């Protein structure tokens, strides 16, 4: 990007800001329409609304990183060295949320199992427990 003049740079920034603004307005409209705030009684299915919102947000993030942070002008090796750890971080966050969700939904079962284990140890005679 060092080889373009100021006027061309301003055009790139203005086009980028218009694109980001339009996508943001579209996201807000989808959220308001999907939750029934614009048309009473009309709701978009969550399986349609959430992927749309996530996709638009990911596109905005991609555009910001590649255009405004000049990643599209870098060498492919540098781009991969930035994007691979980012992808692994996203994967780790999804894995941690999934694991936490599992523990949340099975907490009662785990607590019951732990109580059962404690009560069986307390009911055994001292000779069987090794005391």
Asked if 34 and 69 sit in the same domain, the reply is yes
DSSP state of 39: S
Count of Cβ atoms closer than 10 Å to residue 34 Cβ? 19
CB 67 within 8 A of CB 37: no
Asked if 69 and 83 sit in the same domain, the reply is no
Asked if 126 and 79 sit in the same domain, the reply is yes
Tokens 């009684």 belong to which residue? 41
Asked if 49 and 91 sit in the same domain, the reply is no
Q: How confident is the model at residue 73 (pLDDT cuts 50, 70, 90)?
A: confident
Give the range of the structural domain holding residue 69, as residue numbers without chain letter. 1-73
The model's pLDDT over 80-115, given as tens digits with 9 standing for 90+, comes to 998 899 899 999 999 999 999 988 888 888 888 888
Q: What is the mean pLDDT of the chain?
A: 87
Q: How confident is the model at residue 121 (pLDDT cuts 50, 70, 90)?
A: confident
Asked if 41 and 91 sit in the same domain, the reply is no
CA pair distance 21, 7, nearest whole angstrom: 21
Asked if 21 and 54 sit in the same domain, the reply is yes
Q: What distance lies between CA 94 and its chain's CA centroid?
A: 7
Q: Virtual CA dihedral for 54, 60, 64, 67, nearest 10 degrees? A: 130
pLDDT at res. 115: 85
- Of 73, 91, 111, which one is at a domain's C-terminal end? 73
Angle at alpha carbon of residue 21, lines to 16 and 22, rounded to 5°: 100
The model's pLDDT over 42-63, given as tens digits with 9 standing for 90+, comes to 888 999 999 999 999 999 999 9
CA pair distance 55, 30, nearest whole angstrom: 12
Quote the percentage of the chain above a pLDDT of 90.
46
CB 49 within 8 A of CB 29: no
pTM, 2 dp: 0.65
């Amino acid at each position: 990007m060092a080889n373009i003049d100021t006027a061309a740079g301003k055009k790139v920034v203005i086009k980028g800001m218009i694109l980001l603004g339009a996508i943001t307005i579209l996201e807000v409209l989808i959220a308001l329409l999907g939750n029934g705030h614009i048309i009473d009684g009309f709701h978009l299915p969550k399986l349609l609304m959430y992927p749309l919102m996530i996709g638009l947000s990911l596109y905005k993030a991609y555009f910001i990183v590649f255009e405004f942070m000049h990643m599209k002008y870098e060498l492919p090796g540098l781009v991969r060295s930035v994007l691979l750890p980012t992808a692994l971080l996203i994967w780790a966050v999804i894995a941690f949320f999934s694991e936490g969700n599992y523990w949340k939904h099975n907490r009662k079962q785990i607590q019951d199992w732990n109580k059962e284990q404690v009560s069986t140890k307390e009911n055994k005679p001292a000779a069987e427990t090794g005391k």
